[in-house]
Amino acid sequence: MASPTAAPHASTGDTPEESLANRYGGAQRRPSAGVSRRVRLVAALAVVAAVLITTWFALSTSIGKITYKDVGFEVVDDHLTRVTFQVSAPADTQAECDVEVQDAQAAPVGFRTVLVSGLEPGQRSAPGDDTWTYTVDVRTVVRGNTGVVHTCRSL
């Protein structure tokens, strides 16, 4: 009489590993732990787009704009201060700048609006030169302590 306790894999010739694979399924392929090529490509394109948009915003806010910079001042006497400043603007732009003289407490004691117009191409020191230096006298009610450009705007 045959023994009823014979191992099931013995009759089929399967090894224990094959028997488990048949019962529970074979080893499944796991997805790779790294980032897929498609995700890396999309991320790279997003970074390039962000850089391009940032560059466009930065250039669109600065091209063709009027900028100014204080260079210096000289207190001539109790009622006159000489202010020197630079203005950068496109060549065909006319602008006006408000120059202010302040006392030691930063209170305005003198004010003057100056008409600024771009130099013609023949007057420039270089073809791309769009910065001009101006020196103006500002009358004051008391002795000034500093002279600054308050603002510049196009006309």
Segments making up each domain of the chain, as ranges = 35-64, 67-154
What average pLDDT does this structure show over 18-37?
Answer: 71
Out of 3.30.1950, 2.30.30, 1.10.8, 2.60.40, the CATH code matching 67-154 is 2.60.40
d(CA 85, CA 149): 7
d(CA 151, CA 69): 10
Q: Which two tokens stand for residue 119?
A: 């130099």
Q: DSSP character for 125?
A: S
State pLDDT tens for residues 128-137. 557 888 999 9
128: enclosing H helix or E strand: none
pLDDT band per the 50, 70, 90 thresholds, residue 21: confident
* Ranges 8-12, 51-55, 64-68, 129-133, most confident: 51-55
pLDDT band per the 50, 70, 90 thresholds, residue 61: confident
d(CA 41, CA 34): 14
